[in-house]
Amino acid sequence: MKTSEIRSRFIDFFAKHDHVDVPSASLLYNDPTLLFVNAGMVPFKPYFLGDEPAPYARAVSAQKCVRTLDIDEVGKTTRHGTFFQMLGNFSFGDYFKEGAIRFAWDLVTGKEQDGGLGFDPEKVWVTALYGDQETIDLWLKVGIPRERIQERGLKDNYWHMGVPGPGGPCSEIYIDRGPEFGADGGPEADEDRFLEIWNLVFQQEELSAVRAKDDFDVLRPLPHKNIDTGAGLERIALLKQGVANMYEIDEVYPVIAKAAELSGRRYGDDPTDDVRFRVVADHVRSSLMLMTDGVTPGNEARGYVLRRLLRRVIRAMRLLGVNDPVLLELLPVSRDLMRVSYPDIDANWPRVAEAAEAEEKSFRRTLQSGTVMFDTAVDAAKGEHATTLSGDKAFQLHDTYGFPIDLTMEMAAEQGLTVDRAQFDALMKEQKERARADAKAKKGGAASLEAYRELREAGEVPFLGYTDLDVNTTVRGIVADGAAVDRALDGTTVEIVLRETPFYAESGGQDADRGVIVGDGFNLNVIDVQRPVPGLVVHRVEVLGELPLGATVDARVDAAARHGASQAHTATHIVHAALRELVGPTATQAGSYNKPGYMRFDFSATHGLSEALKAEIEGRSNEAIAANYAVSAQEMPLEEAKALGAMAMFGEKYPPLVRMVELAGPWSRELCGGTHVGTTAEIGMLNLLSESSIGSGVRRVEALVAGDAFSKFAAERALVTALTDTLRVQPDQVVGRVERLIGQLKDAEKQIAKLNAEKLLAGSAQLVQQAVDVNGVRYLGVATPGVGGGELRTLAMDLRDRLGSEPAVVALVGGADKPAALVATNAAARDLGLKAGQLISLASAALGGKGGGKDDLAQGGGTDASAAPQAIAAVRSALETRG
């Protein structure tokens, strides 16, 4: 039974029992406590927590998940993977234990020809929380004998989210794989033989404090009991397909086969190689799914996880003997396997392939850079007659260059060295503990939403601002310092909730509206508008007078500011469409921000835009503005909007009914709740200010719109006028004239540098007299401002030769526009282990830069010319402390 068929059977079974089929959320779900969706229940958290009323009583989903805590263990065990798919059925105050158990039993043991999964009822074992007799009785009722029902403690059979919120006992379903997989005796005896496939969670309590998995405080029973289940699709697949582990199922194993083909090695021949094959299979699929959902390789958060996965693939293939590029050989295999269940992979493939290719090229360059550091560490170890490379060096290679430990160990073995793995592991553990502590602090730092939830339970706040900027309404709630109050006093800043509102709450990159709310005896200045929980609009206001709860008010949006924000927001859609038209469909949105007069737009790209392309994008955007396209918005079902090609933001959660904003038909269709102008001509004009990188694989364009754009153009025109007057040329001659002046200036600077160098060379004999003995080495460190390039190199070599055959080191710091440094060593100094390439790194670091080169001559530079004395002193300090 194929994995995709198991997925369909699960969804079809529950759909027939009145469950709404909820599509998988993006892996980049908008939850500040999570990097990625890590469980099937995550998209339903607002309903379990009571932040939002559930739009359905029953639901079923097949949710994409990624867990990253045990990346280093992937491939070593056969039960864990980075990416996996969680099947689940959910009840929100509808059926409870009996329904969940009956559904699960009927699906697990139902005959295949009837749509069931066809497991032998005699092979099914279950667990329950100690003392949960109700659950035990219900399993007995469906036909499981008591000896195949095991009771376990809180660590195994009680579920919560790790923070205050819903919790409850759970019951797990296991399948006996047979004696060849381990000892008899149920899950308590062996969880490799008895493989868990499904966990039924009976949410019935609200927890007030959570200290550990089995240490928490129960505040009260939940007002509505809920069901939350999770069945591992990959685990069910390995059982139904009769394979040994999840890496050998139909959606994963072909990647192993391709890796074996590329490497010329066979899966199953060598346990060490098998781990590498499994790492490749897991990480290729995980990377594909992450990139499909909009993640690009980077150095922070989600991007760093993806980068690590991709680099572990490259490393594993290298250890399997493949040094050629591999990602675009392996990823298409996974694409063809996963597209059956996730058709959006095809639409995003060009961007995925581009990002993967760029990352592989980057890592290959990184390997070259890291190898220099590795070689230096090896030389130092051998110089001390050591047989072990220190763990801190291995950790530095890992942390700075992304070198996996086993790659370092392999390279060290080639040099006849071992690695202090214990020290490396200790440093890694410290880093992980710091990361966990930071994550825990972040997780527990969220402000209480209790006051907002209570206000939300009273009903949704309708947003009338698409059509009305002045609304007569009443004050439904007042929140001060996180608590509901019945009045706000003069001079205070509070949050208020209105019965309905014309004020736009910050979202979708658009700034919140500003304005005033006035009533009898008070005036409220609106300084911010947010949606702390979906459906609830909260206005942060400064109070003048005294505001009572229930007061009648007139809510007035600042019309000019709203129009400015609408102009900028519509311009953002135009720039997005222009980028996709001129750069290509891979230029998908990665973020945006707009306010009156200004917009910025982040998009996926591995390369910057040329000046010509930036001008073309600006021109195309202004063409669209001048074309006076009608800007229309209409509500429709989410799937219908997607079918029309509407662009959606990765990670955003969209309701079943969405708002699609359209400009010029299919040219620009986006899901958007923001405010917009009626026609594009209302924007006036757009001035593209800049384009830059804000992280690996993500670029940003910034632009001014409307009056701000005109003012910028006017200022630039005034600047050109001033230049034409000063240079006495026509406007079209300014660039040529400035270029000639710059050329003349550079020629003059070169001539001055040459003269300075000649002057210094002429005085070399006197400079040599400044050399001092430092720990048995003649050291000459000189600042030579204005001298750079070849002249600095010639001077250093001349001074080194003049210092004779005794150990000698010369360090010069010069440069014109930016500081430049050069270090030269003679043969006698190099015999003492003094290498110019290592010494220049110290000097360059003092200058705020980097350097490198050979043992006899090396050069570098930096940004801080005033640090020349420190750079010279840094080289001297190295000589003083040499062993």
Residues in binding site = 569, 573, 672, 676
With contact defined as beta carbons under 8 Å apart, do 510 and 594 qualify? yes
CA 123 to chain CA mean position, Å: 42
Whether 581 and 491 have beta carbons less than 8 Å apart is answered as no
Strand partners, 470: 556
Residue 209 sits at φ, ψ, to 5 deg, of: -150, 140
Token representation of residue 368: 């070259």
Say if residues 851 and 834 touch (Cβ distance below 8 Å). no
> How far apart are the C-alpha atoms of 630 and 644, rounded to whole Å?
18
The answer to whether the CB of 447 falls within 8 A of the CB of 439 is no
Strands (E), 269-351: none
Print the SS3 string covering 111-158: CHHHCCCCCCHHHEEEEEECCCHHHHHHHHHHCCCHHHEEEECHHHHE
Residue 630's SS3 state is strand
d(CA 73, CA 783): 53
Dihedral angle of Cα 604, 606, 612, 615, to the nearest 10 degrees: 20
Q: Which residue has the tokens 């509070």?
A: 494
Q: Return the amino acid letter for 580.
A: R
Tokens 């370092």 locate to 408
Which run of H or E residues covers position 389? strand 388-389
Distance (Å, whole) CA 456 – CA 348: 37
- Which two tokens mark 524? 């409220």
Tell how strand 83-92 and strand 487-488 pair up. unpaired
Selection from 165, 237, 236 nearest residue 201 by Cα:
165
C-alpha distance from residue 509 to each of 568, 601, 872 (Å): 10, 9, 50
Give the end-to-end CA distance of the chain in Å, rounded to a whole number.
67
Name the burial class of residue 343, with classes exposed (0-12), middle (13-18) and buried (19+) by CB atoms within 10 angstroms of its CB.
exposed
Burial of 530 (0-12, 13-18, 19+ CB in 10 A): middle
Q: Encoding tokens for residue 587?
A: 């230029």
Q: How many CB atoms lie within 10 A of CB 527?
A: 13
Q: Which residue pairs from 705-714 have beta carbons closer than 8 angstroms and sit at least 24 positions apart in sequence?
A: 705/567, 705/568, 705/571, 705/597, 705/598, 705/599, 706/564, 706/567, 706/568, 706/596, 706/597, 707/597, 708/596, 708/597, 708/598, 709/597, 709/684, 709/685, 710/684, 710/685, 712/687, 713/685, 713/687
How far apart CA 508 and CA 593 sit, in angstroms, is 8
> Which residues fall in the annotated binding site for Zn(2+)?
569, 573, 672, 676
Identify whether the C-beta of residue 851 lies closer than 8 Å to the C-beta of residue 871: no
In the sheet that 686-695 helps form, which strands lie side by side, from edge to edge? Answer: 589-595, 598-604, 698-705, 686-695
